[in-house]
């Protein structure tokens, strides 16, 4: 789970980007921290980059496919 020290650097949001589930290798439209909904592994993805391919992040046998959800949305001005 993503950690933070200074709460003033983060704010809660109801943005729909947090509701979408993404597959491995898919373009990350929003930059930020993505969390695997199956195993909890987290990765940081820059704007316009893709989520890790299945050969980069692997599950133990029987856990199912890798699926990512946005955990922290990094905004830029």
Which domain covers residue 55, as residue numbers? 19-73
Residue 72: strand pairing partners: 33
Pairwise CA distance, residues 54 & 43, whole Å:
13
Decide if 57 is inside a domain. Answer: yes
CA neighbours closer than 13 Å in the CB half-sphere of residue 50? 9
CA distances from 4 to 62, 65, 72, 76 (A): 32, 29, 11, 19
pLDDT given at position 21: 96
Is residue 8 included in any domain, yes or no?
Answer: no
Q: How many domains does the chain have?
A: 1
Q: Is residue 32 part of a domain?
A: yes
Quick: pLDDT tens for 27-43.
998 999 999 998 899 99
Name the strand (E) or helix (H) holding 33. strand 32-36
Token pair in block for residue 13: 């949001």
Q: Is residue 68 part of a domain?
A: yes
Considering the chain, what is the average pLDDT of its residues?
89
């Amino acid at each position: 789970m993503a950690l933070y020290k200074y709460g003033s650097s983060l704010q809660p949001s109801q943005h729909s980007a947090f509701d979408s589930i993404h597959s491995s290798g898919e373009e990350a439209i929003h930059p930020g921290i993505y969390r695997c909904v199956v195993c909890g592994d987290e990765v940081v993805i820059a704007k316009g980059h893709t989520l890790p391919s299945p050969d980069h992040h692997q599950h133990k046998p029987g856990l199912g496919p890798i699926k990512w959800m946005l955990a922290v949305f990094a905004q830029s001005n």
